[in-house]
Every structure is written in structure tokens, then in C-alpha cells.
Structure 1
Amino acid sequence: MAVFTPLDSSQIRDLLALYQAGDYVSHEGILEGVWNTNFHVHTTKSHMILTVFEERTNVDDLPFFFAYTDHLVRMGLSCPGPILTNRYERSVEIAGKKAALFPFFNGRSLTLAQITPEHCEDLGRYLARMHLAVADFIVERANDMSLSGWQKLADKTRARADEVCPGLSVMVDQELSWLVQHWPEALPRGAVHLDLFPDNVFFDEGKVCAVIDFYFSATDMLAYDLAIAINAWCFDSSCLFRPDCYRALLQGYELLRPLTFAEREALPVLLRAASVRFLMTRLHDWLFHDPKNFVKPHDPMAYVERLRFHQQGNRSA
């Protein structure tokens, strides 16, 4: 369950009065997701998504998220830019929290078992389009979930990390030290998604039709964003690497945006970094899960296995 802030019909009606979105018909909570509260909202005019931003989303970052998605929409990419109110505002307040309405997209997300190399090739092309689109996007946001953020999580989880896997605390500390020594410099940067998991991508007839959930987006290395996508899409549910998906994703990406020599050389480091990023957040949530929160945290072992794979240099280009 991921409805942290229940809303009744009268609250939704009051919110809709701030928009030219039609009259209220119905709404229902969306149980998927772990970060914010989302609802399907049906009106006499349209079907929309209402997002209520919970405490783990810093509302001071909303202007960046909204500017980024607005820019991508202007560049012809399908993603949820916020619907403007009657006063041309991108967000409102409901139940004492910031909220926004977004267009609903048809299509469906894929499970790991459903992903094919063809899906990965199309995803690679779409990600390249996203990266090319931000060449003239000047708004920036520092990525607070990079090396310094991982170190803070390592400090917090160190005493209990071995409850998840014997030796994990030492593994994390050693890997963080290695990453500091090998961190790539001067790679192409821009606004990037940083959470391009299968549940954040919708497909229709085998093609990407929308990308959603931009609430980790920030300014960072384009190739790091690519590495996150590789880790998310090119391993199966048993954490086995799928070289066919890897090759297809890279091929699709480089059809539109060939990697620089420096990016290609740095990719093994970035794949390890992308593994650590999700290992650390999942480890933290696993160890410090609030039992009142009905959302089951993700198992950090999936990213322990990815990290081990990349540490061994097992990659098929």
C-alpha cells in the first residue's frame, strides 16, 4: 500500500475547482510506489493523476522537477509535466501537503520477465533523446544521492549491515573507498532521470510511450544515468546478467548519442557506482523500515549481486 494520505471526494472536488479540469466523477488510490501518494482522478473532461508529495520529497526541489519535465515535453518527449491551475500554478496544497495534477498516460510497465532486447533497444533510444534534449536546459539541482550521500548511509547502516549479508559493511566501505579513487571527472553532464526502472517506463505496442517519476532527477553525468538504466533493465529476477539486453540498450542509445571515449572507459566504474547507490538506499530502508508503513522495502541483495558482478568485470560489450 502506498496511499499515505487518504483523500475523500470533497477534498478532490475542492482541488479540482482550482483547475479547468472538469467536474469530479471518481478517484482511487494507486497502491504501487513507495515515495509519494498517487490517485487516479476521473472527471467529466479527463483522466489525471494526482500526486501528494510526502515528507521524503523535498518540496523545495519541485521547481526543478517541474521545469525539467516541462522542458522535456517541449522537446517532444512524453512525460508528466504538471497541469497548470487557473492561476497558472504548478502545485497546490491539499491535506496540508503540496500536490500536483498530471496527465494520465496509456501504456503499461513491464516486469523483468517481460523485458526483451527489443524493449531495451527502444528504451536506449528514448534515454538518448532525453539526454540530447537537455543540451540547452540551464536549471540545475545537485544530486544529493551521490558519493557523499552514500557515505552518510554507510555510516548509518554500518553497525547492522551484516544482518542482511555477512561481510556487507566491509564490502560497502571498501567499495566506497575504491569509487572515491576512481571517480570519473569531466564527463558530459546535464539534467538526468536517475531512477529509470521498468516501473517508471510505459510501453505501448512494444515502444516507449511515457517516462514517469522524476523525483530523483538532478544534474549529473549522462553516462551515470545510462548505467542506472543498464542495472535496472539488463538483469533478470535471479540477478543474472542479460548480455543481449545490455547490447541492445547500448546500441539503441548510441544510434542517437554515441558515447565519448571517456564515457565508455568510465562505464565500468559508473555501473559499480549505480549498484552502490541503490544498494545503500535499499539497505537503509530495509534496516530502518517503519512497521506502520505498509510498503514493503526492496531487498538490497539484488544490488549486492549486481555490485559483485561488476566488481568481477563481467560485461559483454
Structure 2
Amino acid sequence: MSVFTKVERNELIAFLDAYTVGDLQHFQGIRAGIENTNYFVNTSGGRWVLTLFETLPVSELPFCLYLMDHLDAHGIPSPAPVADRNEHILSVLKGKPAALVQRLPGRSALTPTIPQCAAMGEMLARLHLVGQSYGRQRPNSRGPQWWQRMAEVLLPYLDAAGQRLLTNELDHQMRLRDAVLPRGIIHGDLFRDNVLFHGDRISGVIDFYYACNDVLLFDLAIAVNDWCATEDGSLDEERTAAAVQSYARERAFVPAEAEAWSSLLRAAALRFWLSRLHDLHFPRPGELTHIKDPDVFRRILEHQIETPARLPPVGW
């Protein structure tokens, strides 16, 4: 959620005239995140988030926006898109596809507690279950084919140890892609800054622009790597158990998922190591940009290779 495209006040007023959200009072660019341009927008009719999509193809945006609406209608607190006067939820601003969505209350827990990790696990399982009734499909644009393309680009920027790590991990992951695991709609990016809390209660799940159809447990692995990892790349046992066990109370695991857990943690670490390396070495210009440390996920990947995690007990 960086600001790559600067929007002036008069441009925003003209854009909002197509909506019934009242008069513009205040707007502010959002620094967090790395993919799209985002602004907080306050009007006389409420509080909103404006997103200008910098890289996503227009053809993929309805999947994300209608998914948010579907989840919100089924009790998952997600930012429902706002339709304009012509009932369109996708518009154009500064030559970029743009959408206005509800701004949800609460704030992210950047140092999550055990109860907050449990709430995250429960919410993610509910999202997966509700997603089963969503009819649209979207492949994972950051899946194995993308990993291989990024590896070709990024290998020259790594030291010898990093090159060996990346090459060996790609070989490992390609051998596992035939595993039969439950699939469905995943969030794809459920980091701490994409969940909002009031105390220990989740008040919002945001940023669905990596949502797609993929392995459900991969989604939990993405979240656990961010919510439960320690400085050295290991997973905090109590926070991990809270997230996994709360998830399993909503959606029971199958035995194959227990066998795949460590490899999916590795796959999730690989995916975000590559994306952060790309952002580091090929940054996009912007007014406010935020590049995150790729070594966080290199350490997680290395630790999982050295000490494979087991799925915490969930009462099989």
C-alpha cells in the first residue's frame, strides 16, 4: 500500500463526484505495503480507502473486489467495495484502475499475542470455508512458475550460499507440486498488517489483491511465517499452536496436510523471499514507498530446512 501515483485534491473531488459518499474532507497517502497506491479518504458520508492498481491486470480485479463483497456478506469483516452511481465497483483515476472500499475500524497487531494468533487462525479457516461458495476462479500469479522466473532474474544478485539455497529449494518444491491437498480460495498475503483488531477481536481482514485458488494450508503457512516467526527464523511454539489449533477447530486437517506442513512453510518463505528480493533490486519509483527486508524469509527458509516443523497436535 505505497503511493506510486500522486493524486491531487481536485482530482480526487472529481473522482468522488461519481459516488454518493458525500464531500471530501481529508485524504492521506498510506505508506505501508508495496504493490498499489492507497489513500485514506474521509468524506462527509464516511471513511474509505482508495486504491489505484499499479500492476494488476484489469481482468483480474473483479475476482478480488467481488470476493471482498462475498466475504463481507457472509460474516468475514472485509472491506466491501463501494459502487458508483452507475453501479460500477471499478473505475479509473489518473489513468489507473481504481476502487473505493470501506475503511474498517481497528489497528494491526504488529507484536501479536497468543489470543490474537488464535483469532487469526480461526478467521482464516472461516474465510476458507466461506470461499467454497464463491464461484469465480483465479490462478496464483505468485505460484511455482513465478518462483522459477524470479529465480532466473535474481540469482546473479545472491551470494554463493544464497544461490545454492534458492536452486536447491526450487528443486525441492517442484518435486512436491503433485501432492493432493485441499484447495480453494486463499487470501495469499495474510500478514499482520492485513488484519485489524479491537483488543483480541478481529475487526477487519484487508488487502485481498493476492487472493486466488490454491492449497488452503499454504495460506496458513504464509500467515504463520509472519505471525509466529522469531528473529532467528524459528517459529514460536505457543503462537504457532494457537493459530493452527484454532484453525483446525473450524476446518479439520486431512493427514496429507500434516505431512506437507514443513514443506509448505518453506514454500511460503520462498515466495516472499523472492518477492522482497525483487522489490529490493528492482524498486519502483513512488512518492511514498516501503521496501521490506528479504532476509527475514531467507532465515525462515533456512531454519525450516535445518529443523523441519511438525504440525502442532490438533486432536486427529
Bin the TM-score by the shorter chain.
Answer: over 0.9
How many angstroms does 1:138 deviate by?
2.0
Q: Distance in 2 between matches of 1:187 and 1:292?
A: 40
Q: Distance in 1 between matches of 2:285 and 2:95?
A: 24
Pairs within 5 Å for 1:134-173: 134-162=131-159, 166-173=160-167
| Conserved? CA contact 2:41–2:47, under 8 Å | yes
Q: Which runs of 5+ in 1 are unaligned?
A: none
Matched letter for residue 160 of structure 1: Y
Q: Distance in 1 between matches of 2:231 and 2:9?
A: 39
Q: How many residues align?
A: 311
Q: Distance in 2 between matches of 1:102 and 1:78?
A: 12
| Conserved? CA contact 2:122–2:249, under 8 Å | yes
Matched letter for residue 223 of structure 1: L
How many angstroms does 1:288 deviate by?
2.2
RMSD: 1.7
Q: Distance in 2 between matches of 1:290 and 1:65?
A: 23
Give the equivalent residue in structure 2 for 1:209: 203
TM-score by length of 1: 0.93
Segment drifting more, 217-226 vs 293-302: 293-302
| Conserved? CA contact 2:181–2:256, under 8 Å | yes
Give the share of equivalent positions with the same residue, in percent.
34
Q: Distance in 2 between matches of 1:241 and 1:287?
A: 28
Pairing 1:99–2:93 present = no
Deviations 1:80-103 (A, max 9, x none): 121011111011111111111111
| Conserved? CA contact 2:38–2:51, under 8 Å | yes
Matched letter for residue 92 of structure 1: S
Q: Distance in 2 between matches of 1:149 and 1:67?
A: 25
How many angstroms does 1:293 deviate by?
6.8
How many angstroms does 1:115 deviate by?
1.2
Partner SS for 1:169:
helix
Q: Distance in 1 between matches of 2:74 and 2:290?
A: 36
Matched letter for residue 174 of structure 2: V
Partner SS for 1:38:
strand
Q: 1:288 to 1:188 in 2, by over 3 A?
A: same
How many angstroms does 1:263 deviate by?
1.4
Q: 1:116 to 1:184 in 2, by over 3 A?
A: farther
| More RCO (CA 8 Å, sep 6+) | 2
| Conserved? CA contact 2:31–2:290, under 8 Å | no
Q: 1:239 to 1:266 in 2, by over 3 A?
A: closer
Give the equivalent residue in structure 1 for 2:192: 198
Pairs within 5 Å for 1:6-155: 6-54=6-54, 56-111=55-110, 114-155=111-152
Give the equivalent residue in structure 1 for 2:279: 285
Partner SS for 2:156:
coil
| Conserved? CA contact 1:190–1:222, under 8 Å | yes
How many angstroms does 1:290 deviate by?
4.6
Q: 1:267 to 1:314 in 2, by over 3 A?
A: closer
| Conserved? CA contact 1:122–1:208, under 8 Å | yes
How many angstroms does 1:237 deviate by?
4.3
Matched letter for residue 29 of structure 1: G
Q: Which runs of 5+ in 2 are unaligned?
A: none
Matched letter for residue 148 of structure 2: Q
How many angstroms does 1:294 deviate by?
5.2
| Conserved? CA contact 1:49–1:102, under 8 Å | yes
Q: Distance in 2 between matches of 1:293 and 1:150?
A: 29
| Conserved? CA contact 2:232–2:300, under 8 Å | no
Deviations 1:104-128 (A, max 9, x none): 11100121xx211111111000001
How many angstroms does 1:315 deviate by?
2.5
User: Which residue of 158, 180, 184 maps to 1:186?
Assistant: 180
Matched letter for residue 300 of structure 1: P
| Conserved? CA contact 1:68–1:191, under 8 Å | no
| Conserved? CA contact 1:161–1:283, under 8 Å | no
How many angstroms does 1:239 deviate by?
3.3
Q: Distance in 2 between matches of 1:89 and 1:138?
A: 19
